[in-house]
Amino acid sequence: MHDYLAIHPEVAEALQARKAVVALESTIISHGMPYPRNVETARLVEQTLRDGGAVPATIAVLDGRIRIGLTDDDLEHLATSKSVIKVSRRDLPVALATRADGATTVAATMICAALAEVPVFATGGIGGVHRGVESTLDISADLDELAITNVAVVCAGAKAILDLPKTVEYLETRGVPVLGYGTDELPAFYTRSSGIKLASRCDDPLTVARILRAKWQLGLKGGVVIANPIPQSAALDQGMIDGAIAQALTDADEQGISGKEVTPFLLSRMEELTGGASLEANIALVRSNAAVAASIAHAYAELNTETALPPKPHLTRTRPWY
């Protein structure tokens, strides 16, 4: 299984020492933002993690291997290449076997992070149940991944273009805890609230870390969503967002956009309709999520060093990581 993993030396060293490591996805670089804002944001988010005392582990599939931690050249390649494919759970085996370059979605990033035993992951927003699911059956693979893979995901809720009430209901059905971080409501990505009441609220990273440890020590498989609202200073007007979403969804329908092309199209169209405001909000919330993830990863690492366990032997590298 681990023959497909290539762990960056900095990340491997941090994992062996049981220090804080935070996974980052790469779809946001290749399919989520225009160049050069995508690579600038990737570097800013990595620096935010470092400033918070955590080692960044941006994940992608390159040259037939899952890369846990990327170089600056790797980030530039993902940001500029037109041949990088979007990789979710179903796509991982194909991308690895064909040596395709792939940017990992939330679901694929969770799988890869779990393989490397990185328990905390920061992203912008998770996928979810799409509007009109009654006729399309379009439900993101992210939700089922959260039900089976032991990685905590810090996000600003699900992307606002989705059906948020159905997304929360699906997560509840699959037994995925959704923790409001400093909030009693599910954040709505570009705005701080959705009107959807959450069952659990946490106001500090140590409480979140204790919940993660309790869940996984009980053998309750699956992740946890830590829903962190966008900073107030970066939040957008609800009316403007609702109007832009409605127009973007109409445009997608008229152009026959479907499948995994829907979300990138909608995000790009939202940027156009909001005059770039949605992109700036996206960048702000990703950085905020990274800062929260760093604090949670640090608290979780501290909890798990109390038993003074020895280094993990399988993380000792016997071959080059690249």
Task: Give the separation between CA 27 and CA 60, rounded to whole angstroms.
Answer: 8
**Is residue 22 a contact partner of residue 293, using CB atoms and an 8 Å limit?**
yes
Please, is 36 exposed, middle or buried when counting C-beta atoms within 10 Å of its C-beta (0-12, 13-18, 19+)? exposed
**What is the biggest distance separating any 2 CA atoms in the chain, rounded to whole angstroms?**
59
Nearest to 252 by CA among 158, 162, 142, 134: 162
Catalytic residues: 25, 159
Task: Give the separation between CA 228 and CA 179, rounded to whole angstroms.
Answer: 9
Phi, psi of 167 (to 5 degrees): -65, -45
Please, is 68 exposed, middle or buried when counting C-beta atoms within 10 Å of its C-beta (0-12, 13-18, 19+)? buried
| Amino acid symbol at 321 | W
Token output for 67:
């890369």
Strand, coil or helix: 20: coil
